[in-house]
Structure 1
Amino acid sequence: MTTTLATADFDHLLVREEEGGVHVVTLNRPEKLNALHAELWDELDAMCAVVERDPAVRVVVLTGAGRGFCAGADLAVITALPDDGVTDFMRVQEHGANVIARVKRLPVPVIAAVNGPAAGGGLALALAADVRIAAPEARFNVAFVRLGLSGCDVGVSWLLPRVVGLGHASELMLTGRLIDAAEAYRIGLVNRVVAAGDLMHAALELGREMAANSPYALKLTKECLQVNVDAGSIEAAIALENRNQVLASRTRDAPIAMRAFVTKTAPEFTGR
Structure 2
Amino acid sequence: MLVVSEQNSTAQPLVLVDRPRPQLAVVTLNRPERMNSMAFDVMVPLRAALEELNHDNDTRVVVLTGAGRGFSSGADHKSAGSVPHVEGLTKPTYALRSMEVLDDVILAIRRMHQPVIAAVNGAAIGGGLCLALACDVRVAAAGAYFRAAGINNGLTASELGLSYLLPKAIGTSRAFELMLTGRDVDAEEAQRIGLVSYAVPDDELLDTCYSMGERIASFSRPGVELTKRTLWSGLEAGSLEGHMQAEGLGQLYVRLLTANFEEAVAARAEKRPAAFTDDKL
- TM-score, length of structure 1 as denominator length: 0.78
Task: Decide whether the 8 Å contact of 1:114 with 1:133 is kept in 2.
Answer: yes
- Structure 1 gaps of 5+ residues are 1-5, 233-272
CA-CA distance at 1:90 after TM superposition: 2.1
CA-CA distance at 1:36 after TM superposition: 0.9
Paired positions, count: 225
Could you tell me how far apart the structure 1 residues matched to 2:151 and 2:79 are?
18
CA-CA distance at 1:80 after TM superposition: 11
| Matched AA of 1:192 | Y
Task: Confirm whether residue 23 of structure 1 aligns to residue 25 of structure 2.
Answer: yes
| Matched AA of 1:43 | P
Residue 67 of structure 1 aligns with which residue? 69
Task: Decide whether the 8 Å contact of 1:123 with 1:141 is kept in 2.
Answer: yes
Residue 274 of structure 2 aligns with which residue? none
| Matched AA of 1:149 | L
Task: Decide whether the 8 Å contact of 1:20 with 1:212 is kept in 2.
Answer: no
Residue 235 of structure 2 aligns with which residue? 229
| Matched AA of 1:72 | G
Task: Confirm whether residue 56 of structure 1 aligns to residue 58 of structure 2.
Answer: yes
CA-CA distance at 1:88 after TM superposition: 2.0
Could you tell me how far apart the structure 1 residues matched to 2:237 and 2:193 are?
23
Decide which structure has the larger Cα Rg and report it.
1
Q: Report % sequence identity.
A: 43
Q: Which moved more, 1:9-18 or 1:169-178?
A: 9-18
Residues 67/170 of structure 1: CA separation in 2 closer, same or farther (3 Å cut): same
Could you tell me how far apart the structure 2 residues matched to 1:156 and 1:77 are?
23
Matches within 5 A, 1:35-114: 35-77=37-79, 85-114=91-120
| 1:163-199 alpha-carbon deviations (Å, 9 max, x no partner) | 1111111111111111111111111101011100111
Task: Decide whether the 8 Å contact of 2:4 with 2:45 is kept in 1.
Answer: no
Matches within 5 A, 1:220-259: 220-230=226-236
| 1:237-269 alpha-carbon deviations (Å, 9 max, x no partner) | xxxxxxxxxxxxxxxxxxxxxxxxxxxxxxxxx
CA-CA distance at 1:93 after TM superposition: 1.5
Task: Decide whether the 8 Å contact of 2:3 with 2:15 is kept in 1.
Answer: no
Q: Secondary structure at the match of 1:18?
A: strand
Equivalent of 2:180, from 174, 177, 180? 174
CA-CA distance at 1:122 after TM superposition: 0.5
Residues 62/169 of structure 1: CA separation in 2 closer, same or farther (3 Å cut): same
- Structure 2 gaps of 5+ residues are 6-12, 84-89, 239-281
- TM-score, length of structure 2 as denominator length: 0.76
CA-CA distance at 1:155 after TM superposition: 1.0
- The runs of at least 4 aligned residues of structure 1 exceeding 6 Å deviation read none
Task: Decide whether the 8 Å contact of 1:101 with 1:155 is kept in 2.
Answer: no
Residue 132 of structure 2 aligns with which residue? 126
